[in-house]
Amino acid sequence: MLSVIKTAQDLATHRRNQGEVGFVATMGNLHSGHISLLKAAFKDFDHVYFSIFVNPTQFGPNEDFHKYPRTLENDVALIEDCLKAHPQKSVTVFAPLNVNEIYPADFKLQISIQDLNKILEGEIRPTHFDGVTTVVYRLFSLIKPSKSYFGLKDFQQYTIIKKMVKDMLLNIEIVGMPIIRETSGLALSSRNQYLSNEQKETALILFNTLTEIKNIIAESRENLPAAQKYIAEKLKDKNWDYLTIRETETLSENLDGKKSLVILSVYRQGQTRLLDNMQMDLK
Ligand code: AMP
């Protein structure tokens, strides 16, 4: 069963008398990456909430908020398709009619996860993560999920949301889900449609470079200097916003004694910034 709800008030009424639910937050323009989160939620819950909201506060002044693809009808059709394979499940799509449903005129809250919100993506997009944490907190408050599913594609976002939940003592489990890729290796993203065919080809540099770095490291700390040297060489191409090896909890560059690592990267193709990352463990 599928319901589409457009106001916060209807959502509150709908949510009453339901038990535990899972939750997936998106900005819509759905692809198999988003649907993989829904399927994961179906494994844990009979009822899943799925938000579709292009959140203005996570876009900077010169970013693509106005041109971000809004395809609600198509999105709902994709969710319906997925439900066909899970006939015993139900989904509530929360697609706010307008921004006031999330941010009423007198709204004053801002949630910031210090330090993590200012590095990497946060260095380039200084207000982005405060917008993300604030909207996700707001959605959590409305939906009250037991578990919420996030793609590891946005690794820093996942790290920050986990930290928010920990620091605010929210009783919500954050589940990180694997990156869904095209067969070429390109990570699925709503922003891929901004790319020309030629740019899409060039975009494979992300997956190929991350794979190469992972192969150089080959689970051994001894190989980290060789990987850093390879990265320094790659960074001569100024289309990289960053390409860096971090430890997974704090995203610190200090890898001493750390076993769980992630290579984080952004490569620019024209106006479009493509994110990708790859996790690895050292032996
Ligand atoms: P977005 O609508 O782009 O804000 O993404 C909503 C959720 O879907 C976030 O948790 C993303 O990390 C996740 N997501 C986006 N693309 C992918 C992908 N290719 N694989 C897995 N999860 C994804």
Q: What is the pLDDT of residues 117-148, one digit of tens each?
A: 999 999 999 999 999 999 999 999 999 999 99
Closest CA to 6 of 104, 75, 94, 69: 94
- Active site residue: 14, 31, 34, 128, which one? 34
Q: Is the CB of 154 under 6 A from ligand 1?
A: yes
Extract the tokens encoding 53.
């909201």
Radius of gyration for the alpha carbons in the chain, expressed in angstroms and rounded: 19
pLDDT at residue 32, as a whole number: 98
**CB count, 10 Å around CB of 92?**
22
Catalytic site residue 86? no
pLDDT at residue 89, as a whole number: 98
Q: What is the Cα–Cα distance from 226 to 1, expressed in whole angstroms?
A: 53
Residue nearest to atom 5 of ligand 1 (CA): 26
Angle at 180 between CA 112 and CA 127, to 5 degrees: 20
What digits encode the pLDDT tens for the residues 257-269? 999 999 999 999 9
Q: What region, left, alpha or beta, does residue 27 occupy, with left being phi > 0 and alpha being psi -120 to 50 degrees?
A: alpha
Q: What is the Cα–Cα distance from 19 to 2, expressed in whole angstroms?
A: 17
Q: Is the CB of 131 under 6 A from ligand 1?
A: no
Q: Is the CB of 161 under 6 A from ligand 1?
A: no
pLDDT at residue 176, as a whole number: 98
pLDDT at residue 91, as a whole number: 98
Please report the atom of ligand 1 found closest to the CA of residue 152. Answer: 12
3-state secondary structure of 81: helix
What digits encode the pLDDT tens for the residues 81-98? 999 999 999 999 999 999
8 Cα to the center of ligand 1, angstroms = 23
Q: What is the Cα–Cα distance from 187 to 155, expressed in whole angstroms?
A: 13
Q: Is the CB of 128 under 6 A from ligand 1?
A: no
pTM higher than 0.85: yes
Q: Which residue has the tokens 């999105």?
A: 75
If you average pLDDT over every residue of the chain, what do you get?
97
Residue nearest to atom 15 of ligand 1 (CA): 33
